[in-house]
Structure 1
Amino acid sequence: MRRRIAPGRAAFIDIVREALASVSGGPGRSLLTLASTLIGVASLVALIGISQTAAGQINVGFSLLQTTLVTVRMDPEQMTDADPMGFPVDGADAVTALNGVQSASLYWQLDANALDLDVRTSSSTQNLADSLAVYAADASVNDLAPSVRADGIGFTDFLVASGARTAILGERAADKLGIADLRLPATISINGEHFTIIGVLGKSEAVPQLNTAIIIPNQTALNLFGPPTTQHPAQMTIRTDVGAADLIARQVRYALRPDAPSLFTVTAPQDWSRATEGVEDSISGLLLAVAVVILVISALAIGTATLSSVNERAAEIGLRRALGARVRHIHLQVVIEAALLGGVGALTGESIGVLVIVIVSAVHDWTPVMTPAVLGAGPLIGITAGIAGGLMAARVVSQLEAVDALRRS
C-alpha cells in the first residue's frame, strides 16, 4: 500500500524527481544555465593540464640532460707556459674511473684571433673562421652527441693518439658547408693544413657550441696549433648517472690533479626543484585565482539563469504554494536544479578540457600530464557554483507569495 504524504510535507526523493523533471522539461533553459560552468571548467582544466604537461616535458628534458652533466674548466688565471693545459694526459681515464661517471670528454676551442685562423673548403674561396669555430677534442667527443651520422664515423683512440689529420663536423656546420654525403671525399683546410672529414655529429644538447664547429683531434691540434690559450682554456664535460652529479663535482678536481685541485673550476647542475619552486608557487597562485574567478562567474551565471527560470515558472510555484507546498520545499528544489546543472556542466566541461589537453599534447608529441585532484575538483566547482547560484534564486522564491505568483500568470 502506497504511503500517503501529509499536506504541507514532501519527501526528499519527490523533490529530487521534481527537480529532474524541471531540468529535462526545459532543455534550452538548462543548456543556457550550464553553459557558463561548462566553459569555465573546460578552460580551467585545459589551462592546468597544458601547464602541467609543458612543465613535465621541461622536467624530463632537464633531469635527463642537465642533472647528469658536470663541466670542469681550467682556470685561465692559473695557466702558465709550463702547464697551459692543466688537465693530465690520462685525465679522462682518471675521471671515468670514478663511480657514477659514464663518460668524460676533453676539448677546447682554437683561438681564432691568436692563430689568425683561415678555414676554407675545396669549393670555397671565403674564410669561414668567423662563422665556424674550430675545436680540438679527444675520442670521447662522440659521447657529447646522440649519434654520428650513418655515412661517417667518429674519432677513435688511434686517430687521436696518432695525430691524424681528420675532422668531424657539428650538425649545423655540415649543413653550412653543404656536406650532404660523406661517401664522397670531403676535405677542409685550416691555416693551409688539410683535414679529411670523416663524420658528422648529431645535434649536441650537452655542448651546443659543437653544433656549429669543426672538430679535430686534440693531439693534432697540439702538434699544429699549440696548446689552449687563456681566452679559450681546456675544459671537460662529464656525463654521470642520475643523482651522481653533485658527488662527482666534489671529487673530480682531486681525481684530475690531487696535487693542484685549485687549477679547475667545476660547474655542477642546479637543484631543479629549488630553481623552479618560486615559479611553481606563482603558477599555483595564479591557477587558484582563476578557479575562484570561474567559481564566482559560474555562480552568478547560474543564479541569473535560475532566477529567470523561477520568474517563468511563477504560476507553477504559486499553484504549488496554494496547494500546500512550503517555501523550503521550493527552495530545495531550486537549489537541487541549480546543483544538477552545475555538476553536469562541470563534468562536460572537464571532458572537453581533457580532450583539449590530449590534442595539444599529440600535436607537440608530448605525454599528457594531469593531477587527479584537478579532475576531482571540476565537479565540486560546478556543484558549488550551482548551489550558490540556486541560493541566490531561492531568496526571490522566499519573497514570492502564492497569490502574487498566480496573478503573474
Structure 2
Amino acid sequence: MKPFRIRYWFRRQRGFESSTFAIRDLLSESLAGTLQRPARSALTGLGTVLGVGSFVAILGLTATTSSQIDSRFNLLTATEVSIEDIASEQNQFAGIAFPVDADARIEQLNGVVNAGVYWNVRLGTGTTVRSIPTVEGGGGEQVEIVAASPGLLRAAVPTMAQGRIFDDYHSEAAQPVTVIGANLAARLGITTLETHPAIFIGEQPFIVAGIVQDVERKPDLLLSVIVPRTTAERIWGPPTESGTRMLISTKVGAAIQIANEAPTALRPDHPGYFKAVPPPDPKTLRGNVTSDLNQLFLLLAAICLVIGAVGIANTTLVAVLERTGEIGLRRALGARGRHITIQFLAESGVLGALGGLVGTSLGTVTVVTVAVIRDWTPVIHTGTVAAAPAIGFLTGVFAGLYPAWRAARIQPAEALRH
C-alpha cells in the first residue's frame, strides 16, 4: 500500500464537521496511483492509444486524401467530357452519327486539347487475337477490339513502353496497324518491336505500331486492341449497335462549356443525336468518398476505444480490490464515499488522458509520414487534434464509473479487516 500524501480538511457546517478533498491533492493522488505500476498502466492505456491514434490518423488521412481527390479532379476528371451517340436509340439515324471529321470539329473549339471517337467492334463468337508465331501452348486471346480515331489515344495521354500511337496518316489511309497494352503484348509473346511483329484478329493481320505502358484516362484501353476507326469500318463495317462515343480532354475550367457546345459543333443540323456527359461535381464525389471512408474507419477507431475502455475498467477494478485496505484507512481518516469515487474516476481519467495524448501524437506522426511518402500535403484539422485527448479522458472516466462506484460502497470496518 502506497504512503498517503493527502489531507482531508475539516470545516464546521451546520453544527457538524465536514471533510473536503482539495483539487491539488486529488490530482497528485490520481497521478501517483497511475504511475505506481507504470508497466500495467502502459499496457492498460494501449487500447486508448490505439483508439485515439486511429481517430486522429483516420480523420487526418481522409482530409489529406480529399485534398488529393480535388487536385486529381482538377487535372483529369474535371477536364474530361464524354459524348454519346444516341441517334440510333431514338430511331432517328442509322449508322454513326459522328461525322468523319468529328475530331477536327471538336478540336477547333476553344478550350479543347484533344478529342477522339471510339467504339467496341462486335466480332463473331470465338474470334481471338493471336501473334505470329503463336505463343507455345496458347490458342490466342479473347480481348476487346476498340476502333478509335487518333484523337482518342492522344486524349487518353498514354505512356509508351515501345513504339508510337497511330496518327492521322494511318487513319486516313485505313492502315492495318494497332496499338496494344503492355500486359496483352506479354501474353502474346511480343517483347520488342524491332522485328515488326504482327498479330491476327481473326484472320486479319495487323502490324503492332506501339505498346502502351499506362494511360491517364480510360485505363480499360490497356486491356484492348486499338485499331484505327477507318480500318475497322473497311474490314468489319460501321457499328450496327449504339455505343459509339467521343472522349474529349479540355483545359481546366472549360469542360462544362465544351459539353454544351459539342453537340452543335458535331452536327449543327441534328445536335439532338448526341448526349454530352460533363464531369461530375468534384465536391459531391469527394463528399461521398470521404463519408464512406469516415464511416468505415471511425467504426474501427470506436472498436479500439471500446477495447481501451474495457482495459481501463478492468485495471481500475483490480486496483480497487488491491487497495481495499487503503480505501478503509482513507474512510477512517475522514474521506467520504464521494471522495473515493472522485479519486478513482480521476485516476482512470488521467490514464485515459495520457493514452489520448500519446495516441494523438502517434496519429499525427502517421498522417505526416504517409503524406511525405506519397508526396502529399498533410491536412489535419485543429479541432481533431484538440478533441482527441478529450476523447481519451472521457473514455477513461466512463470506464472508471463502475469501479469507482464499487470502491465508494466499501465500508471502513470491513476494509480494515483485509
**If the TM-score is normalised by the length of the shorter chain, which range does it land in?**
0.7 to 0.9
How far apart are the structure 1 equivalents of 2:369 and 2:210? 39
For this pair of structures, how many residues does the alignment match?
Answer: 402
State the SS of the aligned residue for 1:149.
strand
Alignment check: 8 A CA contact 1:74 1:263 kept: yes
Query: Counterpart of 1:388 in structure 2: which amino acid?
Result: F
Range with bigger deviation, 198-207 or 339-348: 198-207
Cross-structure match for 1:77: 88
How far apart are the structure 2 equivalents of 1:311 and 1:82? 86
Provide Cα deviations, 1:40-65, integer angstroms capped at 9, x if missing partner. Answer: 43555566667777777777666654
In the alignment, structure 1 residue 99 sits paired with structure 2 residue 93? no
Provide Cα deviations, 1:62-108, integer angstroms capped at 9, x if missing partner. Answer: 66544433222333527999973322333222212333322101233
Alignment check: 8 A CA contact 1:110 1:232 kept: no
Cross-structure match for 1:68: 79
Cross-structure match for 1:251: 261
Aligned pairs (5 A) from 1:138-217: 138-188=149-199, 195-204=206-215, 206-217=217-228
State the SS of the aligned residue for 1:184.
coil
Aligned pairs (5 A) from 1:383-398: 383-398=393-408
Cross-structure match for 1:218: 229
How far apart are the structure 1 equivalents of 2:100 and 2:265? 13
CA gap 1:26/1:183 in 2 versus in 1, 3 angstroms: same
> Of the candidates 37, 41, 47, which is equivalent to residue 30 of structure 1?
41
Alignment check: 8 A CA contact 2:356 2:389 kept: yes
Shift of 1:252: 1.0
> Of the candidates 337, 344, 351, which is equivalent to residue 354 of structure 2?
344
RMSD after superposition? 4.3
Shift of 1:371: 5.5
Cross-structure match for 2:3: none
How far apart are the structure 2 equivalents of 1:184 and 1:51? 49
Shift of 1:214: 3.4
Structure 1 portions without partners, runs of 5+: none
Alignment check: 8 A CA contact 1:350 1:378 kept: yes
Cross-structure match for 1:123: 133
Shift of 1:143: 1.6
How far apart are the structure 1 equivalents of 2:301 and 2:202? 65
How far apart are the structure 1 equivalents of 2:30 and 2:143? 75
Cross-structure match for 1:302: 312
State the SS of the aligned residue for 2:214.
coil
Alignment check: 8 A CA contact 2:47 2:308 kept: yes
Shift of 1:254: 0.6
Query: Structure 2 length normalisation: TM-score?
Result: 0.75
Alignment check: 8 A CA contact 2:337 2:409 kept: no
Query: Counterpart of 1:240 in structure 2: which amino acid?
Result: T
Structure number with the higher helix fraction is: 1
In the alignment, structure 1 residue 240 sits paired with structure 2 residue 236? no
Alignment check: 8 A CA contact 1:38 1:348 kept: yes
Shift of 1:110: 3.9
Range with bigger deviation, 34-43 or 96-105: 34-43
How far apart are the structure 1 equivalents of 2:310 and 2:362? 22
Fraction of identical pairs, as percent: 34
CA gap 1:234/1:351 in 2 versus in 1, 3 angstroms: same
State the SS of the aligned residue for 1:168.
strand
Alignment check: 8 A CA contact 1:109 1:232 kept: no
> Of the candidates 28, 31, 42, which is equivalent to residue 17 of structure 1?
28
CA gap 1:35/1:203 in 2 versus in 1, 3 angstroms: closer
State the SS of the aligned residue for 1:104.
strand
> Of the candidates 214, 218, 238, which is equivalent to residue 228 of structure 1?
238
In the alignment, structure 1 residue 311 sits paired with structure 2 residue 321? yes
Structure 2 portions without partners, runs of 5+: 1-6, 11-18
Shift of 1:341: 0.6
How far apart are the structure 2 equivalents of 1:37 and 1:155? 60
Alignment check: 8 A CA contact 1:33 1:306 kept: no
CA gap 1:235/1:304 in 2 versus in 1, 3 angstroms: closer
How far apart are the structure 1 equivalents of 2:356 and 2:20? 32
Structure number with the higher strand fraction is: 2
Shift of 1:294: 5.6
Provide Cα deviations, 1:102-121, integer angstroms capped at 9, x if missing partner. Answer: 2101233444249x988664
> Of the candidates 114, 130, 137, which is equivalent to residue 148 of structure 2?
137
Query: Structure 1 length normalisation: TM-score?
Result: 0.77
Query: Counterpart of 1:248 in structure 2: which amino acid?
Result: I
Range with bigger deviation, 15-24 or 63-72: 63-72
